[in-house]
Amino acid sequence: MDDRYQPKAIEPRWQTAWDQAQIFAAPDQPTAANKTYVLEMFPYPSGSLHIGNLRCYVIGDVIARFLRLRGHAVMHPMGFDALGLPAENAAIKDGIAPAVRTEQNIQNAKRQMRAMGLSLDWQREIATYQPGYYRWNQWLFLRMLERDLVYRRTAAVNWCPRDETVLANEQVVNGCCERCGTAVVTKDIPVWAFRITRYADALLEGLKGLQWPDRIVTAQTNWIGKSHGSEVDFAIAGGNQKIRVFTTRVDTILGATYLVIAPEHPLVPTLTSSEQRSAVEAFVEKMRRTDKIARTADGVTKEGVFTGAHAVNPFTNERIPIWIANFVLADYGTGAVMSVPAHDQRDFEFARGYRIPIRTVILQHAGQRLDPASMPAATCDDGIMAAPEEMGGPPLQLDAMEVARACAGKSSAAGRAFLTEWAAQHGFGSGTVQYHLRDWNFSRQRYWGTPIPIVYCEKCGTVPVPDTQLPVTLPAFEKITLKMTGTAPLAHVAEFVNTKCPKCGGAAKRDPETMDTFVDSAWYFARYLSPREDQLPVAADVARRWLPVDIYIGGPEHAVGHLIYFRFFNKVMKELGLVFSDEPAQRLITQGIVYNKALRCSEHGWLFPRDVDTDGNCAKCQRPPQTSTEKMSKSKGNAVSPDELIDRYGADTARVFLLFAGPPEKDLEWNDQGVEGAYRFLARIWRLAQAAQPRIRAATRCRSLAGLDPVNGNVRKALHRTLHKVTEDIGVSQHFNTAIAAIMELVNELYAADMHTDQTKLVPALEREVVELLAPMLSPVAPHLAEELWSSLGQPGLAAVATWPAPDPESLVRDEVTYAIQVNGKLRGEARMPADSDEAAVRQVAEAQEKVAGYLKEGTLRKVVFVPKRLINFVVK
């Protein structure tokens, strides 16, 4: 070994050795007992990766490497989510055709991943922009079309004026396009949609058996949004039409004092009176230009306009005004809600703002009286249904007395059941279930996506492209020349759009739209298993052996986008006989965000280092920029290049920093001092091994504590306790930070024993054992250094595929333990005690400590809680 730790000299050598040995290739036929499929969400190749991107892949790599060492057959593939807006926009910006730029980015990303030492099976690589991949998007589209899971409809969609395309709800953040930041508007256009709502109950039920973070399960449960309630028809006064409303609180319907419909509701034009038409049209246009997610967010002012029309409450025969408001959406429920301001906070705020009457009909306890005029807020909880004389606000008409008397005193739950049945008996309502989940609009008005395999023929109508004519491929360009005009750009490419009808052979037009990139990532996990299979998207026998994914790693921001579509496609693929598990991934690990300092000029936006002058000011206007901590991003100028980091410190240093900064699910802030610390830690290990090398090459590894003096015996115990902790922290809890911390503590003990010098206190046999065990412990987190340690011992083969060692039980026995000393559950001290100490001995030592003695003197001892080998707690009053 060289005298100095020089990662640049060693890391490429081991990367080449791994590639040549193909040790990361997954076996074709694993046994059920040892197969483990580890998968990270694949990247968008829209540019170079930064260190924040790579955190996800390093986390997955630690798990994959550890499991191989534990004897698992590991599937750990990688590919590229290469279609969609990010890649297309980058290509347009640079004036390079997406296919050309995408392939350049993929090769660069692969180089960066290899340089980070990721143990990936590159034989299974996929890239979604290749016709051999998106052919199967089209094949799945056609199978779903046959099953009535795909349909064409006109829908109000999120529209990005800058990117000139539809956005899914999940792609809208704070009312803006997540890609470009442009304010999103609502637009009615024809779209293709998947009937994901048909699987709403299955998607809810499937969450119960998953080992996914609670916040992801909660997010999906809320997004699917299953609600049991009632549908009730309100007749429009003076006409023959009705407005159907959905409510989960039909027990409050006697208190409905107005009706609200969405600005996009189809009845708006016919309901609006001539006097109100200009105000209504202005409000509808304003809402069309306002993102529907933003307008319904908490805290947004409730605003609306009166239509001039009235509805009739079927339970009371009261005429109530019909309003249009920003907080009602056309695609949720029926697009209309009954408003009970006394018992719904949103309705309460609107009623107060527009001076609409409020009637209280639910009491929190018998005998209570609520005065609407003095209510500070709505009372929204279940309660007791009020009798007519107990209600506050406008009195009920005589027509309503029969039903009001019948409900008086009933609990809210009983009242809901009673009124739902009443509505059904009288023919104006029924019980029902509604979902927040909406069908997935997946067609996009862009070039860089999977072409929709549909042909339009004047004679035959809408004709699916036959399987034998798949894939329908994108036209190739040397440079990106398509113009965004608000319509699908492929409609203007004659060689693409003009074709022959598959049925009659006559002239026809191809559908010019493409699929959302979420389609590509909805089933890619299966394609890795047989990436060159040409008869089906995935070979069934391979799917049966490897699926589901055992451990899936990615960002929590995908909770209600990708992760729902991913699960939906798996359920459809199971029905098609392509996969055999109910869910695509059994366990999910969500990694935290990497933050870094960023500079922003008030005039020129985010500043890259090149945009800052020598005085630290904006080079364009010389104004001092503001400094803030932001999510690491190339667009914000705060991305850390892995290339620069690896060149200076090595890949192992980058890996150790990313892993040591916190557990995978926690956010971390980039810290140059932390990187330096990680490098010094690895350099200390190098120095230990380098110093010990001449002493241990010919030594026989220590196998027990027998014959060791106290110094050597204590070091051996520390070594095996560290091995035990690293095994638990990586293999069970995935707390890689504490595993690294344990190795750091061990290294401190080895330095205290002078292993790094010629005056070492350790015998050669123990020094050899130290290096032999350090190599596998480091292999998942710092694999290049691990290979150097392994090689320095003259060991055969590679450390990456060695056998994970088992801790020596004898060395794990603790002669002493640390007791936590508590008073009323709060830590007040610690004491090192013999492991076999009884309560009396521990109590004697604890009571002698100054802090504890003070509490015992000032108070009265009520109880002593003693947990052997862990703690003693004095309960004092």
Q: pLDDT, tens digit, for every residue of 800-846?
A: 999 999 999 989 887 788 999 999 999 999 998 888 889 999 999 99
827-841 burial: b if 16+ Cβ within 10 Å, else e = ebbebebeeebeeee
Q: Report residue 161's pLDDT band, with 50, 70 and 90 as the boundaries.
A: confident
> Rounded mean pLDDT of 699-708?
94
Q: What is the pLDDT of residue 114?
A: 97
| Residue 550 CB contacts under 8 Å (≥ 6 apart), including other chains | 35, 36, 37, 38, 585, 586, 587
Side-chain-side CA neighbours of 40 within 13 Å: the count stands at 28
CB atoms within 10 A of CB 229: 18
- 527 pLDDT more than 80: yes
**Average pLDDT for the chain:** 93
Q: Report residue 484's pLDDT band, with 50, 70 and 90 as the boundaries.
A: low
Query: Bigger pLDDT: 166 or 416?
Result: 416
Alpha-carbon distance 397 to 587, whole Å? 58
Q: Where do the DSSP E strands lie in 28-144?
A: 35-40, 73-75, 79-80, 126-127
Residue with tokens 């406008």: 394
Alpha-carbon distance 251 to 385, whole Å? 7
| Residue 685 CB contacts under 8 Å (≥ 6 apart), including other chains | 747, 774, 778, 785, 789
> Rounded mean pLDDT of 740-764?
97
Residue 194: beta bridge partners? 150, 440
- 120 pLDDT more than 90: yes
- 479 pLDDT more than 70: no
Q: What is the pLDDT of residue 295?
A: 80
Phi/psi of residue 322, nearest 5 degrees: -105, 120
Q: pLDDT, tens digit, for every residue of 488-504?
A: 889 988 999 999 999 99
- 179 pLDDT more than 90: no
Query: Bigger pLDDT: 436 or 157?
Result: 436
For residue 690, give the nearest of 759, 788, 787 by alpha carbon.
788
3-class SS letters over 406-458: HHCCCEHHHHHHHHHHHHHHCCCEEEEEECCCCCEECEECCCCCCECCEEEEC
> Rounded mean pLDDT of 138-164?
90
- 643 pLDDT more than 80: yes
Helices assigned H by DSSP within 226-271: 268-271
Q: What is the pLDDT of residue 608?
A: 85
Q: What is the pLDDT of residue 103?
A: 93
Q: pLDDT, tens digit, for every residue of 612-630?
A: 998 899 999 999 999 999 9
- 135 pLDDT more than 80: yes
* Check whether domain 25-139+518-590 has CATH 3.40.50.620, yes or no: yes
| pLDDT-above-70 percentage for the chain | 98
Q: What is the pLDDT of residue 257?
A: 97
Q: What is the pLDDT of residue 486?
A: 63
Q: Report residue 182's pLDDT band, with 50, 70 and 90 as the boundaries.
A: confident
> Rounded mean pLDDT of 29-57?
90
Q: Report residue 442's pLDDT band, with 50, 70 and 90 as the boundaries.
A: very high
In this structure, are residues 346 and 302 in contact, taking their beta carbons and an 8 Å threshold?
yes
Q: Report residue 326's pLDDT band, with 50, 70 and 90 as the boundaries.
A: very high
Q: pLDDT, tens digit, for every residue of 718-731?
A: 999 999 999 999 99
Span of 372-386, 597-611, 698-712 with lowest mean pLDDT: 597-611
Q: What is the pLDDT of residue 483?
A: 60
The predicted model scores a pTM of 0.87
Q: What is the pLDDT of residue 504?
A: 96
Classify domain 693-812 by CATH architecture.
Answer: Orthogonal Bundle (1.10)
Q: Report residue 603's pLDDT band, with 50, 70 and 90 as the boundaries.
A: confident
Domains of the chain by residue range:
25-139+518-590, 227-434, 693-812, 816-876
Q: CATH topology for 816-876?
A: Ubiquitin-like (UB roll) (3.10.20)
CB atoms within 10 A of CB 794: 9
Q: What is the pLDDT of residue 480?
A: 58
- Rama region for 605: left / alpha / beta (φ>0; ψ in -120 to 50; rest): left
Domain 227-434 - what CATH class?
alpha beta
Query: Bigger pLDDT: 251 or 615?
Result: 251
- 482 pLDDT more than 70: no
- 169 pLDDT more than 80: no
In this structure, are residues 335 and 225 in contact, taking their beta carbons and an 8 Å threshold?
no
Q: What is the pLDDT of residue 330?
A: 84
> Rounded mean pLDDT of 508-534?
97
> Rounded mean pLDDT of 34-55?
92
- 367 pLDDT more than 80: yes
